Amino acid sequence: MSKAVFTIFGASGDLAKRKLYPSLFRLYKSGVLTENFAVIGTARRPWTKDFFEGVVLDAIADLTTSKTEAQQFASHFYYQSHDVEDAAHYHTLKVLQEDLCKRYETDHNKVFFLAMAPQFFGTIASHLKSEAIVDGQGFERLIIEKPFGTDLTSAKALNQALSETFNEDQIFRIDHYLGKEMIQNIFAVRFANILFEHVWNRDFIDNIQITFAESIGVEDRGGYYDQSGALKDMVQNHILQVLSILAMDKPASFSSADVLPEKIKVLENLRMPDDKLIVENFVRGQYQAGHINENDYPAYIDEASVAPDSKTETFASGVFFVDTERFQDVPFFFRTGKRLTEKGTRINIVFKNDANIFSQEVAQNILTIYIQPTEGFSLQVNGKEVGKNFAIEPVKLDFRHDADALGNSPEAYEKLMYDVLNGDSTNFSHWHEVKASWTLIDEVVKAWQADKTPLSYYKAGSMGPRESFDLLEKYGTSWIWQP
Ligand code: BG6
């Protein structure tokens, strides 16, 4: 059972409604939150408590089985109209915070969630300190959403601003991929199976392929996305985080104190490409008009809030190398993009071939980790084809379930909120990880902005530009997943 007063900055926003309120409700239903909690929602709009409760009830409508339970939950929500730059407003917030702490007996524990534009993160953190809302009593934890900066310089400035009020172990930088069931499952696959643990290295693994494909376009986020692009939106954070879990050495224990240093080591050992290598090893693409499942979609440059001459990439692909003893020279291929053939997040671990005693070619063993929309694993192994001749054929051992259909996977946010309440930062991005990933990504961005790599185009509904396929060919392999 956890006790805390949550303060959500950006309480009227989309993220709060779609993710936070439902996640808190699920924690309430499962008994992690009982009666000893309260939520202060803040935003500029002048809402009343009643209206805010209504917003919360709407947000959890799909999860509600008992009206009384939902109303009881919503009664813990309080609203405070707030201008993040106005010190006087923090004073009112402090009074409310203390009042709720007493009323709900929350032991002074506080969780602050910044679900708003990152340019305000620094101001909020500094007011929390100057107005003594952060007062050293109980636990005090800050949750922040991506993006953590837009390059290394801005990320450093932001980190500096936050660290005036919070220590590293009080800052929980959300990467929602780290809350996904099957991403967390990579730890289990790697470290709970003797079958894999001892072959998880450069002697046995030929290459690793990470695909984060989306069939949606930029939806109503053209304004943000056109300033960001696939590299900053998906690679700097989600893909590099997943890569760090795939490539890390075995931690001494499954705790943040042991896991995080191993992940950091991977990111700090990413091979830094020079301009020549960036041109050879990284591909940027943008979608043109096309169709998916018989629906026609416009080109990226015709989407709302996107500059008509935009050079922003909606697809990024490339290869990373991790210069550690374990993975030296093993290619980690990645690709991610909008308006691809279908939504599919998966990882293929392609093993090397052993010396072959048969008179035919033998397929490589492949371990596939399916992250979404289905969750599970498959392992491609070789067996004998039924018949009197001796022929070898690959077969797939497949274990999968449809997470959405079963509806039993907790939401990523629910798990991450649970971790925050327990003070467990294993599934959050550490500052050293953020720093190391921006260091590399900045180099690629610089080369792309200088047009060192031409922008390639792909049709909506395809799996990205030809150059992404050519890249793997240069390394003597090909994308295993070709929907
Ligand atoms: C977000 C990106 O971080 O992740 C979005 O900003 C992207 O552009 C989303 O669509 C994908 O997340 P998921 O959980 O739907 O795979």
Q: Which atom of ligand 1 is nearest to the CA of 372?
A: 16
Strand partners, 79: 41
Q: Is 214 near ligand 1, meaning CB less than 6 Å away?
A: yes
Q: Which atom of ligand 1 is nearest to the CA of 228?
A: 6
CA distances from 74 to 61, 66, 101, 413, 422 (A): 11, 12, 17, 19, 23
Residue 195, burial from CB neighbour count under 10 angstroms (0-12, 13-18, 19+): exposed
Interatomic CA distance for residues 449 and 124, integer angstroms: 32
Phi-psi region at 322: left, alpha or beta (left = phi > 0; alpha = psi -120 to 50)? beta
Tell the residue number behind the tokens 């010190």, with chain if given: 87
Residue 405 has what pLDDT? 54
Q: Which residue, judged by its Cα, is nearest atom 4 of ligand 1?
A: 234
Ligand 1: centre distance to CA 290 (Å) = 21
Contacts for 465 with CB less than 8 Å, ≥ 6 apart: 283, 285, 315, 456, 457, 458
DSSP 354: P
ipTM surpasses 0.90: yes
Residue 184 has what pLDDT? 94
Q: Which atom of ligand 1 is nearest to the CA of 233?
A: 6
Binding residues for NADP(+): 10-17, 44, 83-84, 146
Residue 166 has what pLDDT? 97
CB contact at 8 A, 244 and 266: yes
Mutate to test the pocket of ligand 1, among 18, 211, 234 (most ligand atoms within 8 A of CB): 234
* Residues assigned a catalytic role: 238
Whether the link from the prior residue into 251 is cis, omega within 30° of 0, is no
Residue 294 has what pLDDT? 85
Contacts for 360 with CB less than 8 Å, ≥ 6 apart: 391, 392
Interatomic CA distance for residues 409 and 462, integer angstroms: 30
Q: Which atom of ligand 1 is nearest to the CA of 343?
A: 16
**For every residue of 450-463, which 3-state class applies, written as one string?**
CCCCCCEEEECCEC
Q: How far is CA 252 from the centre of its chain?
A: 25
Q: Which residue, judged by its Cα, is nearest atom 13 of ligand 1?
A: 177
Strand partners, 380: 366, 396
CB contact at 8 A, 328 and 201: no
Residue 116 has what pLDDT? 87
Q: Is 233 near ligand 1, meaning CB less than 6 Å away?
A: yes
Assign 284 to helix, strand or coil: strand
Residue 95 has what pLDDT? 96
Ligand 1: centre distance to CA 176 (Å) = 8
What would the DSSP string read from start to end of 158-217?
HHHHHHTT--GGGEEE--GGGGSHHHHHHHHHHHS-HHHHTT-STTTEEEEEEEEE----
Neighbour count for residue 222 (Cβ, 10 Å)? 18
CB contact at 8 A, 358 and 225: no
Interatomic CA distance for residues 268 and 322, integer angstroms: 9
Ligand 1: centre distance to CA 233 (Å) = 8
Binding residues for substrate: 176, 180, 214, 233, 338, 343
The backbone torsions φ and ψ at residue 315, rounded to the nearest 5 degrees and listed phi first, read: -145, 135
DSSP 239: I
What pLDDT digit, counting tens, does each position of 343-381 carry?
Answer: 999 999 999 998 899 999 999 999 999 999 989 999 999
Low-confidence ranges of the chain (pLDDT < 50): none
Biggest alpha carbon distance in the chain? 85
Strands 2-9 and 344-351, by their bridges, are: unpaired
Q: How far is CA 204 from the centre of its chain?
A: 28
Q: Is 375 near ligand 1, meaning CB less than 6 Å away?
A: no
What pLDDT digit, counting tens, does each position of 255-290 carry?
Answer: 999 999 999 999 999 999 999 999 999 999 999 999
Please choose, from the candidates 303, 333, 367, the residue with its C-alpha nearest in 3D space to the C-alpha of residue 212.
333
Strands 77-81 and 33-43, by their bridges, are: parallel
Tokens for 247, please give them: 């490539």
Residue 104 has what pLDDT? 98
Tokens for 343, please give them: 């939504």
